[in-house]
Structure 1
């Protein structure tokens, strides 16, 4: 395995790209980005992915980011005991 060291400018670009991914990964029920309202994948997300691709890296995975705001949109939570399990409320 080889080790690659990145310059400070590259690390800044990757940090910015990671921030953009985190801001633009959530999608509304209509398939639009919750941050900029463009259809997904939005232009900011495409630019961020291009930056990661340029350096041969992947963005850090942050579980739950894509579902942020789901509860505000009337989302379904399987783990919430108050959530009805069937349409008739059982």
Structure 2
């Protein structure tokens, strides 16, 4: 769950990991390649296409827009949070 501006948004596991990483590198830019490494660091037999990062960003944006948190595209570089202060990331116990 992400908390910002007195509101909250519930994200999927992959979206949450991606937004968490964006918050950790804030205010710097997170490249797609770095995002892929972060999400799939354990590896596996089949590595997903890098376009999956765009899909996760798109879905997270829709949810975060509702609470006033924006993810900007930095063309040719990657993504960055566009906020004045980091949102609070609350990890829920499974």
Same fold by TM-score, threshold 0.5 exceeded? no
Q: TM-score, with normalisation over the residues of structure 1?
A: 0.33
Q: Pick the structure with more strand per residue.
A: 2
Q: Which has the higher contact order (CA 8 A, sep 6+)?
A: 2
